[in-house]
Amino acid sequence: MAKEKDTKPMANTVIGSSIVIDGEITGEESLTILGTVKGKISVAQNLVVESGATVEADVEAQTVTVSGRLTGNVVARERIELKPESKMVGDAKSPRIVIADGAGFKGNVDMDV
Amino acid sequence: MADKETVIGADTRISGEVRGDEDLVVRGRIDGRVQLTQNLTVEKGATVQADVDVRQLVVSGTVVGAIVASESVKLMSTARVVGDLASPRVMMEAGAAYRGRVDMGDIAAARAAVSSRVAQRPAASEKAAIRPAPPRMAMPGKVVVAGKAAAPVAPTTAARSTAPAVAGAAAPASPPAFPRVAGAMGGMAPAWAKKKIRRR
């Protein structure tokens, strides 16, 4: 499928920019966050943290793409991608991790090697 | 970016609090609390088990919880709603199922009631913690009855009262004392008592 298409059109759940969620999000589909989420996120598909978004949560997903700000431990079964301008603090665990030029990252990287 | 709209997909579940200043469409599930300055749409197949405080509410799915809508509430024909409802305009289509109280008057009071309900939530969890107690209370009762049946046997009662005191050290020794006490009762109490001592 069009997985390379940045997952955005596939995202069935969108958390808008003015939304604040305090708690747990679980799902079998993709999740795009433009707002704020605190707590825990566990999705079977892709998680996209858009620029301007703030996530303070432990994350579990297939792929995680960060353009905004993410604080917490991230486990991705497939890939973690930190875009330019993104900020991430926490441990990243995934077989493939991409950190773009300009991205900010502090934490451990575990690629299972 | 579908202009300022938040969607909770059909296979997504949120438990906790959702707050915001934009429209929210729920196709999946939210448990907890929803507070928006804009509109909430609960689509067919979606479940919101939460106290809801929004501007306009349109329900085609299921909502369980106290509802406050500053502008209007509309229950479509497929809606299933349980909970008190406060809004100046309330519309219900034929086929909508609703149980609760409707208040088209004092929204501020209803809103206060909802927030106080949220404050009381911890009490509910306390209740849950207390719940396991009754079986424990019932069991000693059985033991007492067993003691009464064997009332003439004073030594065994004494043995029983000393047993808990040394339960930690004399756990292997105490079980024989119990079958004697409740032998006439079919041995239910001793089985329980043995288990309990072993657990300690």
Task: Determine the pLDDT at residue B198.
Answer: 52
Q: Do A104 and A92 form a contact (C-beta atoms < 8 A)?
A: no
C-beta atoms of A29 and B9 within 8 A: yes
Task: Determine the pLDDT at residue B115.
Answer: 73
Q: What does the block give as tokens for A76?
A: 């991705």
Residue B13: list chain A partners with CB under 8 A: 25-27
Q: Give the start-to-end residue ranges of the domains of chain A.
A: 19-102
Q: Which of B26, B28, B99 minimizes the C-alpha distance to B67?
A: B99
> How many contacts, defined by CB atoms under 8 Å, are there between A and B?
85
Predicted confidence (pLDDT) at residue A75 exceeds the cutoff of 80:
yes
Using CA atoms, how far apart are residues A69 and B136, in angstroms rounded to an integer? 50
- Bridge partners of A88? A70, A105
DSSP assignment string, A33-99: ESSEEEEEEEESSEEEE-TT-EEEEEEEEEEEEESSEEES-EEEEEEEEE-TT-EEES-EE-SEEEE
Residue B151 CB burial class (10 angstroms; 0-12, 13-18, ≥19): exposed
Task: Determine the pLDDT at residue B92.
Answer: 92
Q: B56 — alpha (psi -120 to 50), left (phi > 0) or beta?
A: beta
The one-digit pLDDT tens for each residue of chain B (200 residues) are: 444 579 999 999 999 999 999 999 999 999 999 999 999 999 999 999 999 999 999 999 999 999 999 999 999 999 999 999 999 999 999 999 999 999 988 777 778 777 776 666 544 444 444 444 444 444 444 444 444 444 444 444 444 444 444 444 444 444 444 444 444 444 455 455 455 555 44
Q: Give the start-to-end residue ranges of the domains of chain B.
A: 5-128, 133-199
Residue B27: list chain A partners with CB under 8 A: 12
Residues in chain B, total: 200
Q: How confident is the model at residue A112 (pLDDT cuts 50, 70, 90)?
A: confident
Position with higher pLDDT, A28 vs B193: A28
Mention every residue, 6+ apart, whose C-beta is less than 8 A from residue B99: B81, B82, B83
* pLDDT average, residue stretch A21-39: 95
Residue A32 CB-half CA count within 13 A: 20
Task: Determine the pLDDT at residue B117.
Answer: 67
Q: Which of A59, A63, A49, A45 minimizes the C-alpha distance to A107?
A: A59
Q: Which of B4, B5, B13, B14 to mutate to probe the A interface, most A CBs <10 Å?
A: B14
On whether ipTM exceeds 0.85, the answer is no
What is this structure's pTM?
Answer: 0.66
| Neighbouring C-beta atoms of residue B80, cutoff 10 Å | 17
C-beta atoms of A23 and B32 within 8 A: yes
Alpha-carbon distance A113 to nearest alpha carbon in chain B (angstroms): 32
C-beta atoms of A39 and B13 within 8 A: no
The enclosing H or E element of B91 equals strand B89-92
Using CA atoms, how far apart are residues B199 and B193, in angstroms rounded to an integer? 10
